[in-house]
Structure 1
Amino acid sequence: MYFFVNQGIGHSNSGVEHAQFYRAARFRALGLPFKFVFTDHLPQLHQHMAEWQLAEHDVIGLYDYLLSDAPDDYLRFGTTQPHSYHEDALWDTQQRQRLLFRQTTGQYTETIQRRQQHADAAKDSWVFDRVILENKTHRISWHYQYMSDEVKHPVDIHVDNFRGRHYLFTTQDELLQFFFSELERYFDHNVYLIDRGTAHETALVTLKQQGADLKLGVVIHAAHFVGFVAGHPLWNNHYQYLFDHVALIDLIVVSTVQQRLDIITQLQKVGVHDVAQKVVVIPVGGVASVAQPRHWVGGTAKFVTAARLHREKNLTHLIQAVQQLRQAGESVTLDIFGVGQEYAPLARQIQTAQLEGVVTLKGLSQDMVTAMQPYDAFVLASYSEGFGLAYMEAISLGLPIATYANQYGAQALVRENVNGHLAAFVPEKTAESQNIVHLTQAMHRILTHYDALSQGASQVAADFTDERIAAQWQRVLEGLV
């Protein structure tokens, strides 16, 4: 069985989840058995699965499994009768929520008990939660250890009446190791492709060290490297464990040739050799079809972008670039698709710049290929992209692209003067104004030779067809097992 390992999915997902959805479609076309594995507690899991058209039999949720009346049947078929989600709360006389009850979308209920503990009279109290999940005679409970006001970890996890036995796990890491050992017990010839979650790597590496006959791959979705410090590499936190234990990893999947070469070179500099065969290039997204090139007829240029509304996406730069283009006499608009914590600040910026009706926050779309059809060009302002599925979606439609020249995503998919323009940038706050000028210039240049760039987009898209990417997976997996 092939497992795509992640922490969770939701109403709005990142590129990591969309990469998993895309991979599932390629595996399905190849006839390869796979399961999504989600290990976070997800009260609305089945609702979100339905939104993203994930079949019940393709998903294993940690808590659904541990609370199942028939665990082996669940591993095969999933949850056969999901519930509708609802919740009720109990408040005290000071309007503090003390008890929260949820009917999850799975076969169990959740009760959260809240209490206050005054660790220091000089500080605000911390709120601690006790969580109880129940399905008839099955029960899981834990409380949280707070590392800070924002970071907490489940501890003292009781799993009662799982296959007729009771368990106590002092940490979530112990629970995960038990869970993966259960998957090893039931399924054969297993390959785990970890998309997110260092704790997953820890648990599976431990099982390998204990003799489990499994294959372990890690899919890299972002820039993996920070820099060298005193001659030693400083990795992105998400990949530190991977490179510290690279000898026990069977496969490292990246989306671009350049990232593969960088990883091999960086590891060789610290004396780690013989990894080249482990590091393979398979794009996390592709195109089902290649659109015909477009023709520019003039008028208002409609730019579009799609990104989580988070600061690292630099959406404020796009708004300023549109403002500069309009001040220079260009008739342009920008629609921004996505949701996130920066919605309100972006809305205020649009209002302050008097760009209502010019720049529009469009919200979430679950089908960006269809949503981007009416637009003329795509723009992105991230300083870092591991690949950038939004680029791929734009290319498949023949849309020229203006973007910062981020190292992997943009430089792999946007070819200067072929299908778009790459704006130079310096990732420092002091350089922000000049970066925006470069991005504005890149957007302007798209309009000066639009037809040739759209033709180039169709040419680039031909290198990333679904059939080619499925064939890449087929070759890699044949060599792995």
Structure 2
Amino acid sequence: MNFFVNKRIGHSNSGVEHAQFYRAQCFREKNMVFKLIYTDYLPQLHEHMKEWRLKENEVIGLYDYLLSDNPSEYLQNGLAHTNVYRQQTLVDFVDTQRVVHQQTTGQYQATILKSKRFDSKKNVYLVGDDRVILENGQHRVAWHYRHSESLGKIMTNIHVSGFHDRDYLFATFEELLMFFLLELQREFTHNCYFIDRGTDNEEVLITLKNRGYQLKIVDIVHAAHLVSYQNNRPVWNNYYQYMFDHLDDVDRVIVATTLQQKDILSQLRDSGLPVDPHKIIAIPVGGVNQIAAPKKWAGNVAKFVTVSRLHPEKKIAHIVESIAQLNQKGFAATLSIYGTGNEEDKLKQLINDYHLNDKITLKGFCQSITRELLNYDAYVSASYSEGFGLTYIEALGAALPVASYANLYGAQSLIKDGKNGHLAEFDRHNKNEATNIAHLSAAMQLIFTDYDTLSEGATLTAENFQIKKIADQWARVVEGLS
């Protein structure tokens, strides 16, 4: 079995989850079996599975499994019946949440007991989860949380009751995860784990492999992997440090671009580590099913669009300021922003400060973004770093030229200056933000000096990222591991 290992899925997801959805599409295309694994407590899991068109027999949720009346049947086929999510919250006399009751979308119910503690550093009372109890008849999973200053909530004293008529106690989540993955090893054969998220997943699987269990491990790199060089040696991103430290135990490493592939191989040589060039493979994390016909610009208002989590690292404020600059220069431009996140209020205020409410619209979350993109002229991104940039490919497939900072690795790999868009140089230091924004604004305007050619170039680029072609690449990886 091929397992895509992750922690969570929701109504709105990051590029990691969307990369998994695209990979699932490729595996279906080639009739290769797979299951997505989610290890977080997800009370609305099955609702979100339906939203993202995942079948019951394509997903394994950790707690659905532990609380199942027939765990083996669940692993093979998923749930036959799901529930509508409901929640009831009980509060005390000062309106503080104390108990939360949930009917999950699975077959079990949840009771979450809250605690109230004083944070002397913040000088405020904090309310958080203290104990969680999940129940399905005689089946029960319960745990406490302890709070760490650096790590936040940590599960402890995890009781699993009535699982295959036996009771278990796990001191840590890592012990529970080990138990769960051993169960998968017993139930399935010829297992290959594609690790998308979770260093805990990675550590447990490598431990099992070192103990002699027959399994393959494929690490998926979703972001820039390098922090800097120190003493002529590479310093890795924390998310990938464990992978590089245990590269001998990993069967394949998948990156999204050939540029990142070359960089990793070069940096491994610089680190003095043995290099197997066949182990690092470049496969796009997403692609297109259909490619729109090239567009022609009528010379009216330039309609820009961006799709992103509204988080600080995405620098959406830079795009807002660029739109302001374009209109101040007399170049008519509008912007639609798709996505949600904790910067939404800040962006609303910025749009209001620039008096751009008639030019810029926050569109919120959208599940049909490939269709929506067809309504615009050009795509814009202000991220300083993109491992790939799925929205770049989706935009190019909609025949939209792209203006973007020249980030690693997505923009530099996918956007060819003057061919399918324009790249803006940038400096990461905050003191240079005004210069960065001026460069981005200029790149956005340049798109419309030779728009028709750039739109045609966008469709030509998208031709290389058709799902069928990417599916062929995944099939070769799976075949090479068998």
**1:279-318 equivalent positions in 2, closer than 5 A:** 279-318=280-319
Distance 1:118 1:351, change over 3 A: closer
Could you tell me which residue of structure 2 aligns to residue 68 of structure 1? 68
Cα shift at 1:403: 0.3
Q: Distance in 1 between matches of 2:392 and 2:116?
A: 47
2:68 is equivalent to residue 54 of structure 1 = no
Residue number in structure 2 paired with 1:388: 389
Q: 1:295 to 1:251 in 2, by over 3 A?
A: same
Partners of 1:7 and 1:57 lie apart in 2 by 18
| Alpha-carbon distance in structure 2 between the residues aligned to 1:246 and 1:463 | 30
Asked if 1:116 is matched to 2:116, the reply is yes
- Does the CA-based 8 Å contact 2:226-2:234 persist in structure 1? yes
> Number of aligned pairs?
481
- The Cα shift of 1:125 comes to 5.5
Q: Once the 2 structures are TM-superposed, how far is the Cα of residue 227 of structure 1 from its aligned partner?
A: 0.9
| Superposed displacement of residue 120, structure 1 | 7.2
> Counterpart of 1:277?
278
Deviations 1:15-57 (A, max 9, x none): 1111100110110010000001000000111111111111111
How far the C-alpha of 1:3 sits from its partner, in A, is 0.5
Shift of 1:289: 2.3
Q: Percent identity?
A: 49
Q: 1:405 to 1:70 in 2, by over 3 A?
A: same
Alpha carbons of 1:58 and 1:458: their partners in 2 closer, same or farther (altered >3 Å)? same
Residue ranges of structure 1 left out of the alignment (5+ in a row): none
Instruction: Supply the distance in 2 between the matched residues of 1:282 and 1:198 (Cα, whole angstroms).
Output: 22
TM-score normalised per structure 1:
0.98
- 1:327 partner letter: Q
Take 2:122 and 2:256, find their aligned partners in 1: how far apart are those partners? Answer: 50
Partner of 2:421: 420
How far is the alpha carbon of 1:117 from its aligned partner? 5.0
Residue 32 (structure 2) aligns with = 32
Displacement over 2 Å in runs of 4+: 115-128, 229-233
In 2, are the aligned partners of 1:126 and 1:149 still within 8 Å (CA)?
A: no
Q: Deviations over 1:228-255 (max 9, x none)?
A: 2234422111111111111100010001
Residue 478 of structure 1 aligns with which residue?
Answer: 479
Farther-moved stretch of structure 1 (343-352 vs 87-96): 87-96
Judge which range, 140-149 or 317-326, deviates more.
Answer: 140-149
User: 2:191 maps to what in 1?
Assistant: 190
Deviation of the 1:351 alpha carbon: 0.7
| Aligned-residue offset at 1:198 | 0.5
**2:80 is equivalent to residue 80 of structure 1:** yes
C-alpha distance in 1, partners of 2:436/2:405?
Answer: 8
Q: Which amino acid aligns with 2:371?
A: T
- The verdict on how the C-alpha distance between 1:117 and 1:394 changes in structure 2, with shifts beyond 3 A counting, is closer
In structure 1, distance between residues paired with 2:39 and 2:388: 25
Moved more, 47-56 or 121-130: 121-130
Q: 2:43, 2:475 → 1: CA distance?
A: 35
The equivalences for 1:151-166 within 5 A come to 151-166=152-167
CA distance in 2, matches of 1:202, 1:145: 22
> Matched residues in 1 for 2:121 and 2:241: separation?
38
The whole-number CA distance in structure 2 between the counterparts of 1:324 and 1:84 is: 48
SS in 1 for 2:416: coil
Provide the rounded CA distance (Å) in 1 between the counterparts of 2:329 and 2:379: 20
User: SS in structure 1 opposite 2:428?
Assistant: coil
C-alpha distance in structure 1 between counterparts of 2:120 and 2:224, whole Å: 40
Matches within 5 A, 1:199-214: 199-214=200-215
Q: 1:185: Cα distance to partner?
A: 0.4
State the alpha-carbon separation in 2 of the partners of residues 454 and 92 from structure 1.
59
Quote the Cα distance in structure 1 between the aligned partners of 2:96 and 2:150: 17
Structure 1 stretch displaced more, 28-37 or 106-115: 106-115
Structure 2: 5+ residue runs without aligned partners?
A: none
Residue type matched to 2:261 in 1?
R
Q: Which amino acid aligns with 1:293?
A: P
Work out the CA distance in 2 between the residues paired with 1:397 and 1:48: 26
User: Who is 1:459 aligned against?
Assistant: 460
The 5 Å alignment of 1:90-109 reads 90-109=90-109
Q: Distance in 1 between matches of 2:124 and 2:69?
A: 43
Match of 2:355 in 1: 354
Cα distance in 2 between the residues matched to 1:194 and 1:90: 38
Paired residues of 2:404 and 2:423 also in contact (CA < 8 A): yes
1:335 to 1:123, Cα distance in 2 relative to 1, 3 A: closer
For residue 124 of structure 1, report the CA deviation from its aligned partner: 5.0
Q: Give the whole-Å Cα distance in 2 for the aligned partners of 1:392 and 1:23.
A: 15
- TM-score when normalising by structure 2: 0.97
CA distance in 1, matches of 2:72, 2:317: 50
Q: State the distance in 2 between where 1:434 and 1:199 align.
A: 41
Displacement after TM superposition at 1:176 (Å): 0.7
Q: Distance in 2 between matches of 1:441 and 1:286?
A: 28
Residue 373 of structure 1 aligns to a residue whose secondary structure is: helix
Question: SS of 2:464's equivalent?
Answer: helix
Whole-angstrom CA distance in 1 between matches of 2:358 and 2:5: 42
| Counterpart-to-counterpart distance in 1, 2:384 and 2:168 | 46
Offset of residue 292 of structure 1 = 1.7
Does the 8 A contact of 1:320 with 1:436 survive in 2? yes
